[in-house]
Amino acid sequence: MSRSSAGRPSVLEHPHVTRMDAAATRLAGAARGRGADRAVYLLSEAANHSMLWHGINLVDAVVGGPTHRRAALRRSVIIAVEQAVVNGPVKALVARDRPDPRDDHPHALRAPRTSSFPSGHASAAACAATLLSRDLGAGPAWWTLAGTVAWTRIHVGVHHASDVAAGLALGRALAGVAAAVWPAPAGVGAVPPPSRCRKRTNTG
């Protein structure tokens, strides 16, 4: 159950929200233990403490030039600050219980201790995908990875769907604010303006 700071039931208890959460939980439960289940758990664990995203930034810093190193450092700092905000004051605003613990996990899983709302994994994923898309391009690929990471949190049973949806929206918004305050280094993510062909009028 989640409560507002005044002790009143929150919007998270609205019937539409609870139905969405229940439907996503059933879908995840039906898929658990099948196919690429192990990979889903590993991806969820890889994203703990934003390690997945910091690892991608590290690779970019190593293979890229000085400009890419500065851009990678900027992304990691922004993600770290975003996670401090989300996992600190934002989660403190809504004390929401995690989904009921399950005893049918086919693989080992670290038990989170923070409030369920919003999903820190999802917010970090959206923040990282926003920044990576702007700096390196290939937006659909980064957002596919981010969406997959977010879904793993429902799949492994540690988040409600509404936690994940809110996390994605919040991470995207905070990344946009951060990018406006701290722009990427010159030459990163810059798209050269299209060349303009001047038409010459034949007057003769």
User: How far, in Å, CA of 51 to CA of 20, rounded?
Assistant: 29
| Statement: the pTM of the whole predicted model exceeds 0.75 | yes
What mean pLDDT comes out for the span 29-58? 88
CATH architecture assigned to 36-181: Up-down Bundle (1.20)
Cis peptide before 9 (omega within 30 of 0): no
Enumerate the domain spans of the chain: 36-181
Instruction: Say yes or no to pLDDT of 194 above 70.
Output: no
pLDDT digits (tens, 9 = 90+) for 116-127: 899 999 999 999
- Distance set, CA 130 to CA 42, 121, 152, 169 (Å): 23, 14, 19, 11
**5 falls in which pLDDT band (50, 70, 90)?**
very low
